[in-house]
Amino acid sequence: MNRARSAVAVFALAVLGISVFVITVVWLIPDDLAEDALRRLIEKKAHVTFRAAGFRKRIPLGFVANRVVISALGTDTELYSLDRLKAGIDMAGLFKGNIRVKINGASGEGIFRAVVSLRRNDTGLTMDMSGVEAANIPSLAAKGIKGVFSGD
Residue 49: its pLDDT value, please?
Answer: 87
Residue 151: its pLDDT value, please?
Answer: 65
3-state class (DSSP) for residue 78: strand
Residue 148: its pLDDT value, please?
Answer: 75
Whole-angstrom Cα distance, residue 38 to residue 92? Answer: 22
Tens-digit pLDDT profile for residues 90-101: 877 766 667 888
Residue 84: its pLDDT value, please?
Answer: 92
Residue 152: its pLDDT value, please?
Answer: 57
Low-confidence stretches of the chain (pLDDT beneath 70): 1, 26, 94-97, 149-152
Residue 86: its pLDDT value, please?
Answer: 93
Residue 134: DSSP 8-state: G
Residue 73: its pLDDT value, please?
Answer: 84
| Residue 32 parent element (H or E) | helix 31-46
